Chain A
Amino acid sequence: MQVLEVQHLQKTYRSSRKHLTTAVRDVSFAIAQQEVLAFLGPNGAGKTTTIKMIAGLILPDRGEVKINGLNPHREAQALRSLGAVLEGNRNLYWRLTPIENLEYFGVLRGLSQKVARQRGRDLLERFELSHKRRAPVQTLSRGMQQKLAIAVALIHEPQLLLLDEPTLGLDVEATQTVKRLIREIASEGRAILLTTHQLDIAEELSDRVAIINQGAIVAEESTEELIRRFSGSAYVVELEQEIDRDRVSKIQNLGAIVNEKTILIRETEILYEVLHILQPLPLIRVEKEQANLTEVFLQLIQNQSESPC
């Protein structure tokens, strides 16, 4: 079941009397339950405008957003299914303690105080913040504040969670914890829209990727498929020791490239013949040449800026 449906969103700003800037031209995508969609794009591509249109904070010129079938711009009920941690914002009251923040935001999202308090306690325990429940938020570390901001966004158990740069400025340990939490939250059945400039994190966490550039989606498919599409068909074989001359010549005659302890095989049909020649030399790895999301991202963005509009 689709939790979020975004159809043909468009947004143009008037930056001066005569000048119009198109922030979002045509953006459509959907996110199902238990799915993490990484929404990627360079700075100024239209990510934040799109996220804010989904959250009902910016009115689209055209197009429609549906959260669980409801339009957040017309039906306030839609906001009951939405939790958001927005980038560049603290999203929390710094003078309040974690439990006070959870209680307040719980009521603000429509819960009773009693339910908000109970869920707040459970979330603090789950996010390993119970020991800090009585400390004002401004005394917490950046990682703890970010964990709390995610907990606050979950207090009303929304079906859709918008996470804008959730690991920005976090140290390695805090990043690992936030990554673990995102995985857990998705596995509970929630749909997550994740934006980040840390593409390794996006690759690790997302089920699907949507890449936006100059206000339009340039790629949208499963993360695995996208990487496979951009990966070459070559194999790399690495050995523990340098290969003797006789073997090198045999392998080169087959058409593979030998470089000290590494062999690059472009025609996959000769892979087993090469392995046969190498027998019984000890191998370190045999691996298909694999692209990563960063390479895919850069290639897509570059292709788009080279192609005429």
Chain B
Amino acid sequence: MLKLFLAEVKRSWIQFIRYPAEAIGGIFIISALFYGLFLGATYVAGPSIKLGDRLDSIIVGYMLWTLVTFVLFDIAGTLQNEAQTGTLEQLFISPFGAPRVFLTRAIANLMIQFILITTILLIIMSLTGRWLSFPPTLILPLIAVILGAYGLSFAIGSLALLLKRIQQLLGIFQFALLFLLTVPTETWTGSSKVLGLLLPMTTGAGLLRDVMARQQPLNLPQLGLAWLNGGIYFGLGLTLFRFAERETKRRGRLGGY
């Protein structure tokens, strides 16, 4: 698996940098967005307003939003791109099996995106002299959120396999994602709290808000539930993808996007 992961990282990176103008354009857009976030609040409220830790949570929140969106649509996007480039069938005749190939590729793509954004953020921070604080405990609920996001990504990929053209649906998924990442389930009580635990990614997202915006220590039982939630959605997504793969092969519609 490791050798496949490294090969995917290399392939994705080469594809990204092969045409420098395109790569620079992509980096410029990400840099402009984050730089705008740094400057935006100052422009709106004036330099006398002290944002304090609020800016940290805005930027980290936006970074997470970008990464989770990236994960969510990665598998469906890969399926459609590979069908267009005429390499989709080659991925499906790998002895690793399609789910493993797509997961490895999604993780490799996320890693490149993560390194890119982190590097850009570090450069912006050094330029502006404004250093954000990233509590290291952030990584734990983040894993739960990302795990759930991969589960949903496999589910969306399954839809892409079965229905082929799902561009219109992707817009709806973005709204659903916005809801899942912002709904404050950590403040819900009673039966709503149970529902909050069942929704994908929300428990982990709530923990991220606790750690970043409210500067609260990490709630370990809640973290366990967030991981369980992420694990279950990941398993469900994979199962759905395996079913969709078999169903698509039964229908004989693997290519043809």
**Chain A interface (Cβ within 8 Å of chain B)?**
11, 13-14, 23, 49, 52, 55-59, 76-77, 79-80, 82, 84, 86, 88-96, 100, 103-105, 107-110, 112-113, 136
Task: Name which residue of chain A comes closest to B18, CB basis.
Answer: A95
**Chain A residues near B92 (CB, 8 Å)?**
56-57
Please report the C-alpha to C-alpha distance between residue A77 and residue B4 in the assembled complex, in whole angstroms.
16
Q: Does B187 contact A (CB under 8 A)?
A: no
Q: Report the minimal beta-carbon distance from A47 to chain B, rounded to whole angstroms.
A: 13
A103 touches B7 (CB 8 A): yes
Q: Does B168 contact A (CB under 8 A)?
A: no
**Partner among A56, A89, A104, A110 whose Cβ is within 8 Å of the Cβ of B10:** A104
CB-defined A-B contacts under 8 Å, sample of 5: A55-B89, A76-B96, A92-B87, A95-B19, A108-B4
**Chain B residues near A107 (CB, 8 Å)?**
3-4, 6-7
**Chain B interface (Cβ within 8 Å of chain A)?**
3-4, 6-7, 10-11, 14-15, 18-19, 85-97, 101, 246, 249-252, 254-255
Tell whether A77 pairs with B95 under 8 Å between CB atoms, given A84-B89, A89-B86: yes
**Chain A residues near B6 (CB, 8 Å)?**
107, 113
B3 touches A79 (CB 8 A): no
Main secondary structure of the interface of B (DSSP, over half): helix
B85 touches A86 (CB 8 A): no
**Partner among A55, A90, A92, A100 whose Cβ is within 8 Å of the Cβ of B93:** A55
Please report the C-alpha to C-alpha distance between residue A56 and residue B254 in the assembled complex, in whole angstroms.
11
B18 touches A136 (CB 8 A): yes
A104 touches B96 (CB 8 A): no
Q: Report the minimal beta-carbon distance from B242 to chain A, rounded to whole angstroms.
A: 13
Q: Report the minimal beta-carbon distance from B15 to chain A, rounded to whole angstroms.
A: 5
B252 touches A79 (CB 8 A): no
Please report the C-alpha to C-alpha distance between residue A89 and residue B87 in the assembled complex, in whole angstroms.
7
B254 touches A58 (CB 8 A): yes
B87 touches A91 (CB 8 A): yes
Q: Report the minimal beta-carbon distance from A73 to chain B, rounded to whole angstroms.
A: 8
A113 touches B250 (CB 8 A): no
